[in-house]
Amino acid sequence: MTDVTCARAEIQRRVRLAARALAGAGLVHAYGHCSARLDAGRFLVCAAKPMGIIAPGESGVVVPVSGPLPEGVLGEVRIHQQIYARRSEVGGVCRIMPPAIMALSLLRRTPRPWHGNAAFFAPSPPLWDSPLLARDDTIAGGIAETLGNAKAVVMRGNGAVTAGDSLEAAVTWAWFLEDAARIESFLIGSDCAGDAVPLSPEEVEARSGTGGGVVERMWAYLTHGDPEA
């Protein structure tokens, strides 16, 4: 087996792990997908099926960053294309359907930095204010533009997308985003919500670093027990 073949097999394994981790954490259901960049012009997206039932060894599909989607690839994978095309540093993208984020988005609201995990999205994740599916390049491009340089973009009534310098980071941001939404939702329903204090800019800066194995520990947590971990 050549070095290139070994590297491709390892990326396939990581994409499968990410898919099942997102499903196991309740961040996707029948719908959702994730991908990892291969090089400047291509990325690997998971198999087009519910992510929790992607089997060990099951291959994803190589997709060009620019051009038509390969046959059988889900239409919203255009979002991945548009993000990879705009941000050369992105190594992984997750299209997720987390319930707390979904509920907040219906209020045209995204979570503020109330605690450490939310600090990564300060002052708050941008909102794409449309529930339409991104099945053409215009909508997908608009979502990518709204994301900008952020780690996540929320789509009103339609889940979210996270982007990281690695697939492991994108998965971590997916979990942190939903955790931030859970905190926001709790505060909305609390009689003491007015007493809550969001993190200051200084606290955000102190809490939003990735030192100390932040991504590595969350990846280990979410993939623990997976047959390919």
CA proximity to 165, closest of 103, 215, 115: 215
CATH 1.10.150.20 fits 3-223, yes or no: no
Give the integer Cα–Cα distance in Å for 57 and 134.
29
Give the integer Cα–Cα distance in Å for 207 and 100.
22
Q: Which amino acid is at 40?
A: A
Q: Crossing angle for the helix pair 167-188 and 99-106, nearest 10 degrees? A: 60
Provide the pLDDT for residue 17. 98
Q: What are the contacts of 224-227 at 24+ separation with CB within 8 A?
A: 226/17, 226/20, 226/21, 227/56
- 3-state SS of the chain? CCHHHHHHHHHHHHHHHHHHHHHHCCCCCCCCEEEEEEECCEEEECCCCCHHHCCCCCCCEEEECCCCCCCCCCHHHHHHHHHHHHCCCCCEEEEECCHHHHHHHHCCCCCCCCCCHHHHHCCCCCEECCCCCCCCHHHHHHHHHHHCCCCEEEECCCCEEEEECCHHHHHHHHHHHHHHHHHHHHHHCCCCHHHCCCCCHHHHHHHCCCCCCHHHHHHHHHHCCCCCC
What are the boundaries of each domain within the chain? 3-223
Predicted TM-score (pTM) of the model is 0.95
pLDDT, one tens digit for every residue, the chain (229 residues): 565 666 689 999 999 999 999 999 999 999 999 999 999 999 999 999 999 999 999 999 999 999 999 999 999 999 999 999 999 999 999 999 999 999 999 999 999 999 999 999 999 999 999 999 998 999 999 999 999 999 999 999 999 999 999 999 999 999 999 999 999 999 998 777 677 899 999 999 999 999 989 999 999 999 999 999 9
Q: Two tokens at 207?
A: 């809490």
Judge whether 152 and 179 are in contact, CB under 8 Å.
Answer: no
